[in-house]
């Protein structure tokens, strides 16, 4: 009996201790955290110092390529189109015929003007000789003053008629030349606007030409960045047609005023395009090189990226401390760090997937 009572007492005492332990566990403070020291041997790591270096600065912009020369070529005459052999994309040289109008009336007009000029010259020569003869007679009083004045008037009238005939011939020859529309510069046909047999008026656009060996890149720079612009500044860009290739040029023109509505400034860069890969009208993603600035830099293999966050491990007192960092632009083989680190700190290179915050490390 006595042993039974002792057994029961022990059971009751054990149960009571369990209840007490459970009570303290479930009623512990909410901010109490049980910390366990990292276990295992220290992890061997390689490190690099956080350095301050000159880091290039870039302004990311979008823009559009335009032809250095672009012209909507128009005719200065009216008539029926009899020749239009150009096609879209065709290469033309300065002076090549683009379109020709029916020039039969213009040729007849030139012939008529030439005949009128010939007649006017003959009249003028006759009047000139008559005036010279009357001048000699007038010196010896052998001709009346009225006859002399009449000869002089005839001379002046014939001289004016000769000038009018010369102008009319020039005009007729111009009208004849205007029946042929030629390329004003060497380039490519972007579009033909007329067809054979079509009647056009003076001023009608017959073709659009572009010169593409040199292009202009038009960019809109925010007002806040205007102070960083200068002629000769380097700009690099990519286009959708060649995403793996980077093109470059230099700023040639800087706008004189900021636009009211968009609060930006238009600049233009000159782009060499001897291989003619780039086309006017292409949209580009550009990067404008600004003045370098001093910033922290770490090797690229020190950064671990998870989603939108970038982390590094810093060695402090023999332990790895994980830190969230703000990255910037590439800087050679490294990456700019804009926040989260201090110069001189030691960052772990190629951190192992098993490396955790607080892990013991040795260098």
Could you tell me if 261 and 319 lie in one domain? no
3-state helix, strand, coil in the chain (%, to 5): 30, 40, 30
Supply the pLDDT for residue 215. 95
CA atoms within 13 Å, Cβ hemisphere of 362: 5
Could you tell me if 315 and 273 lie in one domain? no
Structure tokens at 26: 């479930």
Residue 205 domain-assigned (yes or no) = no
CATH code for the domain of 113: 1.10.287.470
**Phi/psi-derived region of residue 276, left when phi > 0, alpha when psi is between -120 and 50, beta in every other case:** left
108-121 per-position pLDDT tens digit: 999 999 999 999 99
CATH code for the domain of 270: 2.40.30.170
Could you tell me if 299 and 354 lie in one domain? yes
Could you tell me if 314 and 267 lie in one domain? no
- Cα–Cα separations (whole angstroms), residue 265 to 149, 235, 317: 71, 16, 53
76-89 per-position pLDDT tens digit: 999 999 999 899 99
pTM of the predicted protein model: 0.61
Could you tell me if 251 and 215 lie in one domain? yes
Residue 323 domain-assigned (yes or no) = yes
Supply the pLDDT for residue 12. 44
Could you tell me if 284 and 216 lie in one domain? yes
Could you tell me if 287 and 315 lie in one domain? no
Domain boundary among 156, 178, 200: 178
Could you tell me if 124 and 160 lie in one domain? yes
Average pLDDT, the chain: 87
Domain count of the fold of the chain: 3
Could you tell me if 324 and 347 lie in one domain? yes
Provide the domain limits for residue 115: 103-178
How far, in Å, CA of 1 to CA of 7, rounded?
10
Written as tens digits, the pLDDT of the chain (363 aa) is 444 444 444 444 444 444 444 444 444 443 333 333 345 688 888 989 999 988 888 889 999 999 999 999 999 999 999 999 899 999 999 999 999 999 999 999 999 999 999 999 999 999 999 888 888 888 888 888 888 889 899 999 999 999 999 999 999 999 999 999 999 999 999 999 999 999 999 999 999 999 999 999 999 999 988 888 889 999 999 999 999 999 999 999 999 999 988 899 999 999 999 999 999 999 999 998 888 888 999 999 989 988 889 999 999 998 989 999 999 888 888 899 999 999 999 999 998 888 889 888 888
């Amino acid at each position: 009996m006595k042993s039974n009572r002792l057994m029961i007492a022990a059971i009751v005492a054990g149960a009571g201790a369990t209840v007490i332990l459970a009570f303290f566990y479930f009623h512990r403070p909410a901010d109490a955290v049980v910390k366990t020291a990292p276990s295992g041997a220290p992890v061997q790591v390689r490190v690099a110092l956080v350095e301050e270096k000159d880091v290039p600065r870039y302004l990311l912009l979008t823009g559009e390529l335009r032809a250095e020369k672009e012209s909507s070529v128009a005719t200065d005459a009216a008539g029926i189109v009899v020749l239009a052999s150009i096609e879209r994309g065709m290469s033309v040289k300065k002076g090549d015929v683009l379109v020709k109008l029916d020039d039969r009336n213009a040729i007849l007009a030139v012939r008529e003007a030439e005949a009128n000029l010939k007649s006017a010259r003959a009249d003028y020569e006759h009047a000139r000789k008559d005036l010279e003869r009357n001048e000699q007679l007038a010196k010896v009083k052998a001709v009346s003053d009225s006859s002399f004045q009449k000869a002089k008037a005839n001379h002046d009238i014939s001289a004016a008629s000769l000038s009018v005939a010369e102008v009319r011939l020039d005009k007729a020859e111009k009208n004849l030349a205007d029946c042929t529309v030629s390329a004003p510069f060497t380039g490519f046909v972007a579009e033909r606007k007329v067809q054979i047999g079509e009647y056009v008026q003076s001023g009608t656009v017959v073709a659009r030409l572009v010169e593409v060996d040199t292009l202009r890149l038009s960019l809109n720079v925010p007002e806040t960045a205007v102070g960083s612009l200068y002629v000769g500044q380097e700009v690099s860009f990519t286009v959708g047609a060649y995403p793996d290739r980077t093109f470059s040029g230099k700023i040639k023109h800087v706008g004189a005023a900021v636009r009211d509505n968009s609060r930006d400034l238009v600049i233009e860069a000159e782009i060499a395009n001897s291989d003619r890969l780039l086309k006017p009208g292409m949209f580009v993603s550009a990067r404008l090189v600004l003045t370098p600035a001093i910033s922290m830099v770490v090797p690229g293999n020190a950064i671990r990226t998870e989603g939108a966050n970038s982390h590094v491990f810093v060695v402090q007192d023999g332990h790895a401390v994980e830190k969230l960092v703000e990255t910037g632009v590439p800087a050679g083989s490294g990456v700019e760090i804009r926040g989260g680190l201090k110069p001189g700190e030691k960052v772990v290179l190629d951190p192992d997937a098993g490396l955790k915050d607080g892990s013991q490390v040795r260098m």
